[in-house]
Structure 1
Amino acid sequence: MKVISNPPKSDWSTILQRPTQTVEAIEETVTAIFDDVKRNGNDGIKRYTAIFDGVDLDDLYVSEKEIKEANSVVSDELKAAIVVSKANIYKFHEAQKTKKVLVETTEGVECWQEKRPIQKVGLYIPGGTAPLFSSVLMLAIPAQIAGCKEIILATPPNKQGEINPAIIYAAQQCGVTKILKVGGIQAIAALTFGTETVPKVYKIFGPGNQYVTVAKQLATKYGVAIDMPAGPSELLVVADETANASFVASDLLSQAEHGTDSQVILVSTSKEKIVEVEKEITNQIIKLPRKDIAKKAIENSKLIYVENNKIALDLINEYGPEHFIVCTSTNNFYVDGIENAGSVFIGDYTPESAGDYASGTNHTLPTNGYSKAYSGVNLDAFQKAISFQKISEKGIKNIGKSIEILADAEGLQAHKNAVTLRLESLK
């Protein structure tokens, strides 16, 4: 990891740059695949699955037989762990339900807001080097709580055309209605346009690599909403002299092993702690099964020394991390001051992996600095807020004159007339 000491603010944007390709470098490929799938439907999907995943699919969906087999293959120990994770995620997201908001803004004028589920949602679950069945729980559980009628899960198959049994099992536990054996750009295209057998959805959720991220952004051009731009994973840890170096190193490596394009950053007010953490990383990384992936990610990563907490906080807010861990003697300073972060983990005994799996919070979060404007996935992400209003005779008399004046001032005579006719009928 590159060690940087007291970087001037003018250099922050360069130092904090993510190791991702530009949209322009990827968009041509994404657009070509989108156009093909739009024209050719399932044939296009199968063609790109053969190219990218190395398998010729007869059926795009997981069969009932495969579902039954997955249930028998997943170990009782893993099933029990999934139960714990599901319970906590369900509890946290169930608590996010809100009641109808009803206000009488003026006598005779009632306004209220109610939530309605998005009817058709697509959940993208990365396959690649790790079967992220935890992401199934994070996306399907709030969709189920919200009441989404169709929950379509898409995930890439292996070279035998199979889906990891844990992904299938988790999907069955959380109300997923269909499981597509399709990944990458072609999966996002299928959910965007629909095909002979794949339903078009109204909103697409889920993390993915840079190609999937750009594909999701392109989907918005065709009237499909997305949760957020969620690309390669990232983590920033702030630690001072009181932090446990082995804990900090383990957290940095837990994100580094996600993928070669992941990024981890340590910001510290202690030069000694940076040295300790760097040694711990060296010691721990050699024991990891995914050490080759972690090493590549570490090459994209930084150890940054700054003189005080204020500078550290300013730098962190400028970066806008997906995951933010606070391990200092002044944790409240950072908790109170953080403005841009997807999810925050506080104290020595709150590893980021807890949020990935079982604490209850959602791990589908904005990356690449998008935490400055986007929230992570939550119950509201699967719902729409619809406003209602009901006006009585008394109500239209109370606000009618103001509406007429406002409409007339904007030169919208039909708007004014719609009120005038009603007022005159009440004379």
Structure 2
Amino acid sequence: MSAREAVAAVTGSFTEHRPAARPDPADGPLGWSGYAESRARAAARTGEDESVVYGTAVVGDRECVLVSFEFGFLGGSLGGRTGDRLEAAYALARERRLPFVSLVATGGSRMQEGMIALIQLQRVARASALLRAAGLPQIAVARDPTTGGGWATLGAGADVVLALPGAQIGFAGSRVRPADADPYAYTAEGQWAAGQVDAVVTPQELPRTLARWLTVLTASGPAGPAPVPEALSGAGLPATGWDAVEQARSPERPRAEAYLDAYFTYRLPLNGDRCGGTDPGMLCGAGIRDGRPVAYAAQCGTATRPAGYRTAARVIRLADRLGIPVLTLIDTPGAANDAEAERAGAGAAIAEVFAAVAAARVPVTTLVIGEGGSGGALALAAPDNTHVTADSYFSVIAPELAAAILKRGPDEVRATAGQLRLRPQDLVELGVARSVVGHAGPG
């Protein structure tokens, strides 16, 4: 697919821009013999005079700056003039306060320009950082192939990374990776499994998905925190601490997926920690609630892994930069505490979430919907805007573990649960939670 075909696949409204042309030696900055002829052949074959086109576009009903790579022009490689165009595209987005969308298909830096080509990555990284500092979102679509410096800047450096099915994606292109390398690791699907891609999207779904992401990342709404979700069960307030634990652990209790489906008109996933990890027990993303964007991080009842915490921190920081309120749903017996979790940096990952919530300038709303086990749950809790459901509990530690620490026998676990004052109504009385949703008072 050519650069312009890729543009036409996502928008019918595109206005091309071009930076002022700069003079270059015929064979480029290195005087590479035959380079001028290679460029001429590429131009004749593709109808383009460089490996990227850019301009303004309307995707769905949102205006954006759109960049598209022409892989047929010297493998979509980045040279000096490519850098000119990319830098100008980022500047245009800053000037007009528009989101930035890149349709990437590149083999990396252009050999015929040597280090002059490679340092274009620094220009792109700088322009991207300026756009990020301006509070504007960046979305990348990884086409086939997306490798080398193009992946390491425009692709992997975007806020949201989408990929087309089967696309070759990776820093190492097919000709330079180890001969025994697992080919799956260099595919869109492999990168999604490793938490480097947020979603693999078919060409047919791409226009709507892009339009929805642009809406979520740029929509405005009334100031203030995200609304507290309504309780999805009719559970009554528990009489004892152990009753609270049993209600929270009931397999029939509504889980995060049900709460998110009821809360949002539609939602879009943000997948992975960008460090090679994912945690299916932590759902993260952003969506539209009553016409307003809300970001979310939701635990699913399992012990949360380091990758889950890092993904949640990533989402909270992104929402904070773009001015989007955050909803967190707490439901975990606690952080994963096996050896693998420790090696993966459980403590540091939990610290990231505590720091992201503490530093957030946007309001954070929290609802405890099940188990609230220790610091692994508290990391996601808004200090001044946490609410609980009747079928939840929140405790310094699970009652069984508290009893073990206190050297109490199994027959004392229930009494320990009562002493911990972990019931929803206790949490309101203690000032830990603001309300039990669906109940007028602490009970």
TM (norm. structure 1) is 0.25
Higher helix residue share:
1
Question: Which structure exhibits the higher relative contact order, with contacts defined as CA atoms closer than 8 Å and separated by 6 or more residues?
Answer: 1
